[in-house]
Amino acid sequence: MTDVHDLTRALQRDNGSKIVLAVADGLGGLPQQPGGKTELETANTPNLDELARRSSLGASIPVLPGITPGSGPGHLGLFGYDPLKYQIGRGVLEALGIDFELGPDDVAIRGNYCTIDGDGLITDRRAGRIGSDIGTALCEKLDKIEIPGVEVFVRPVKEYRLVIVFRGPGLGGHINDTDPQKTGVAPLKPVGRDDASQKTAEICEEFLRQAAEVLKDDAPANLLTMRGIAKKPDIPTFQEVYGVRAAAIAVYPMYRGLARLVSMDVLDAGTTLDEQMDRLESAWNDYDFFFVHYKYTDSTGEDGDFEAKVARTEDFDAAIPRMTALNPDVLIVTGDHSTPSKMRAHSWHPVPTLLAAENCRFDRSESFGEEECARGGLGQFEAKHLMLLALAHAGRLEKFGA
Amino acid sequence: MTDVHDLTRALQRDNGSKIVLAVADGLGGLPQQPGGKTELETANTPNLDELARRSSLGASIPVLPGITPGSGPGHLGLFGYDPLKYQIGRGVLEALGIDFELGPDDVAIRGNYCTIDGDGLITDRRAGRIGSDIGTALCEKLDKIEIPGVEVFVRPVKEYRLVIVFRGPGLGGHINDTDPQKTGVAPLKPVGRDDASQKTAEICEEFLRQAAEVLKDDAPANLLTMRGIAKKPDIPTFQEVYGVRAAAIAVYPMYRGLARLVSMDVLDAGTTLDEQMDRLESAWNDYDFFFVHYKYTDSTGEDGDFEAKVARTEDFDAAIPRMTALNPDVLIVTGDHSTPSKMRAHSWHPVPTLLAAENCRFDRSESFGEEECARGGLGQFEAKHLMLLALAHAGRLEKFGA
């Protein structure tokens, strides 16, 4: 099948228009009881509702019906990259999220400090959730490990989490996790699925052997496990496939990393939505496309806190006027997946989506919510097609064919 | 593109939940007059309507918009197998439907006894619809035919219908039907589309030559035609791709055969819907997934009998409480295609579909019918994705990606 990016490469045109993609992470929800309202429908969202009345609404399917995405595939879909084609390992995401510049020869690994007993069995998979200060100090020690043939980088992420990167020629990225996902057993041995990956697996083993020695007196963090061992996929840049200068305004490392993966400029976004809006305003003249990421609709859903998700949705709504005041040619509000507080987890349910633009086809929606979106003018659509709609409504796509 | 089954293989998990897929064959219909109600909308279906009020509704597209499926593609889609990828010959379906165990070297053929006159021209394509007793006796005679290099099996199906299987190395399955689909002409000569199939075609010719001799005094069944000459496709098992133990509770051979094709256990289902419900109850603890097939919504549609289809739909509705009483985690009611009595045939129209589960997103539907389904929360979806929705709502799919 024709790749959508072959189309956008051929049809893109720069008319100076501006697009804002505002992603409320985990936006979609469920009612607590049959017949009830979802979090978004419960929230008092006058700004989103006003916007809905001059938008096309729709329901975005992140990957395929029934498939619950992680944050990686969820965002790649929104960025217009087929999440089944571009599969990204957790280690790569973690590395990107701490501003580590991954090269094509790098293998990235998410590490978790853990506690092992005298028999080498894991007693705590998160090393008592040590503080970031301790984790950082331990990473500095591990960063000194030397392995012939590769460069070794060890960087802290947060608390018990770290990133390990091996840089060297001929490494593969298909290795099992060493985290056994339970306590009372030893870490698993890393094994590569091909020759290049087996070479990496042996480097992992050597690293873990040295790490055990380095950390032996650092209980509860006296070892680490490895997860998501992977190389960066070969992924075309946002600028190349769409012809827009794109900026990411995201607070959390994961989402900054995802934006960096498609070569958006990752801007300093502060720590609050207000600071993100400050940045959006100050960068307005420098870019064509803005990815704004808001985390708390997801984290409250994962906490199973319906009321908190409602409240955080209302906070998000309050930021909308600062976006509309910039008069973007296209403003999209959506999520990367649903996170119903009833389920305390990501889910497969289609995500409420709103697209406001001069030439959108209005659908007489009265408010922004799951039910209105399910019946909206955009219908149900695959998330990977949202960028086509964004570019089209921005006047940034030429006619296809004569 | 990634095969959906690669996803389900990777993401499947067994949480002990139970899924019922209740297929009312040819369920979708049309009103007799513009503005009228369909068969399903006309029927008094209090149980389905009650279920609809706590379900997500949608409209299933069997293959692609505008494509009218036979029973084979219709059911493969519902089972989550792309009907464009897995194409199944009629002969194979017939053989599976009479419990004939097809192997990888087998070519299966649907036969019809016919009547030919002294000039070798067909005067009756169904040999006066001879009874099953006669058909069975004739098959016993034909089963004695010997052809060098292959084993020959001849089995009765019903009345004038039979199955012929050739078993041997190097046979192909791409041969035209010999049934000319009209009377007054001779049967067509079988021709293979490739070398292996031409070898099979020559075996068909030899078989037909000997059959003419065997049957020469058995008018009206003094010959047979061949249709749907085919080999069994290489198709992965339901258990392997979804991780569920699956049982089929179907009365008609064709549907039992389709279930067997994906390696469901085919249970003794009796002859009535009540007996099927008895079996569903008695097998409840032994399986995770139940395919229940109801034929009469299709056969009445094919008869062009609107009122009979309404009545048979009401019979189907009456069985719903016995399914819901088992408290399945997911209950799906759908059809393999539409069979509008107005058209007296299968059609391409999307099929009313209902999915009831704890975490379905309710869509304020009031009843189960074509119009409600067209506006339902599942939207229009490809039938091949229904299994993803079933597994997701049953909690049987892990998250995709980090």
pLDDT in tens, B277-294: 999 999 999 999 999 999
Q: Which of B2, B377, B400 sits opposite A70 (nearest CB)?
A: B400
**CA distance, residue A31 to nearest chain B CA (Å):** 8
Name the residue among B310, B379, B286 with its Cα closest to residue B36: B310
Is the separation of the CB atoms in A221 and A114 below 8 Å?
yes
pLDDT value at residue B370: 97
pLDDT, average across residues A91-99: 87
pLDDT value at residue B182: 94
CB contact under 8 A, A85 and B2: yes
CATH topology (fold) of A4-87+235-393: Alkaline Phosphatase, subunit A (3.40.720)
pLDDT value at residue B2: 65
In chain B, which residues have their Cβ closer than 8 Å to the Cβ of A90? 402
pLDDT for residue B1 is more than 60: no
CB contact under 8 A, A87 and B380: no
Q: Which of A65, A70, A370 sits opposite B402 (nearest CB)?
A: A70
pLDDT value at residue B84: 95
pLDDT for residue A188 is more than 70: yes
- Choose the weakest-confidence range: A95-99, A120-124, A214-218, B63-67: A95-99
State the pLDDT confidence band at A381, using cuts at 50, 70 and 90.
very high
- Choose the weakest-confidence range: A98-102, A116-120, A388-392: A98-102
State the pLDDT confidence band at A2, using cuts at 50, 70 and 90.
low
Q: Which residue of A3, A67, A163 is the best one to mutate when testing the B interface, meaning the one whose CB has the most B CBs within 10 A?
A: A67
pLDDT, average across residues A300-329: 98
**CA distance, residue B69 to nearest chain A CA (Å):** 22
- Choose the weakest-confidence range: B94-103, B175-184, B185-194, B240-249: B94-103
Q: How many residues comprise chain B?
A: 402
State the pLDDT confidence band at A1, using cuts at 50, 70 and 90.
low
For the beta sheet containing A265-266, the strands, ordered from the edge strand earlier in sequence to the opposite edge, are A265-266, A246-249, A289-294, A19-24, A330-334, A351-357, A56-61, A379-382
**CA distance, residue B4 to nearest chain A CA (Å):** 9
- From chain A, which residues contact B within 8 Å (Cβ)? 1, 30-31, 34-35, 38, 59, 63-73, 83-85, 87-90, 93, 228, 340, 342-343, 345-350, 370-371, 374-375, 379-380
Contacts of B263 (CB under 8 A, 6+ apart): B237, B238, B239, B246
Please name the residue that has the structure tokens 């192997």: B103
CB contact under 8 A, B381 and A65: yes
Is the separation of the CB atoms in B48 and B59 below 8 Å?
no
**Which residue in A has a C-alpha nearest to residue B2's C-alpha?**
A84
CA gyration radius for chain A?
22
State the pLDDT confidence band at A284, using cuts at 50, 70 and 90.
very high
**CA distance, residue B29 to nearest chain A CA (Å):** 23
**CA distance, residue B402 to nearest chain A CA (Å):** 4
CATH topology (fold) of B4-87+234-393: Alkaline Phosphatase, subunit A (3.40.720)
**Which residue in A has a C-alpha nearest to residue B402's C-alpha?**
A70
pLDDT, average across residues B21-40: 97
The average confidence (pLDDT) of chain B is: 96
Q: Which of B385, B388, B401 sits opposite A88 (nearest CB)?
A: B401
CB contact under 8 A, A66 and B401: no
**Token couple for A206:** 């050597």
Size of interface A-B (CB pairs under 8 A): 99
At B244, which amino acid appears?
A: V
CB contact under 8 A, B392 and A67: yes
CB contact under 8 A, A63 and B400: yes
Is the separation of the CB atoms in B263 and B237 below 8 Å?
yes
CB contact under 8 A, B400 and A73: yes
CB contact under 8 A, B359 and A374: no
CB contact under 8 A, A73 and B401: yes
pLDDT in tens, B107-147: 999 999 999 999 999 999 999 999 999 999 999 999 999 99
In chain B, which residues have their Cβ closer than 8 Å to the Cβ of A73? 400-401
**CA distance, residue B13 to nearest chain A CA (Å):** 13
In chain B, which residues have their Cβ closer than 8 Å to the Cβ of A348? 388-389, 392, 397
Domain boundaries defined on chain A: 4-87+235-393, 92-231
3-state SS of chain A is CCCHHHHHHHHECCCCCCEEEEEECCEECCCCCCCCCCHHHHCCCHHHHHHHCCCEEEEEECCCCCCCECHHHHHHHHCCCCCCCCCCCHHHHHHHHCCCCCCCCEEEEEEEEEEECCCCCEEECCHHHCCHHHHHHHHHHHCCCCECCEEEEEEEEECCEEEEEEECCCCCCCECCCCCCCCCCCCCCCCECCHHHHHHHHHHHHHHHHHHHHCCCCCCCCEEEEEEEEECCCCCCHHHHHCCCEEEECCCHHHHHHHHHCCCEECCCCCCHHHHHHHHHHHHHHCCEEEEEECHHHHHHHCCCHHHHHHHHHHHHHHHHHHHCCCCCEEEEECCCECCCCCCCCECCCEEEEEEECCCCCCCCCCCCHHHHHCCCCEEEEHHHHHHHHHHHCCCECCCCC
In chain A, which residues have their Cβ closer than 8 Å to the Cβ of B334? none
CB contact under 8 A, A65 and B361: no
pLDDT value at residue A97: 80
ipTM for the predicted complex comes to 0.89
Q: Which residue of A38, A75, A84, A351 is the best one to mutate when testing the B interface, meaning the one whose CB has the most B CBs within 10 A?
A: A84
Name the residue among A16, A50, A134, A147 with its Cα closest to residue A356: A50
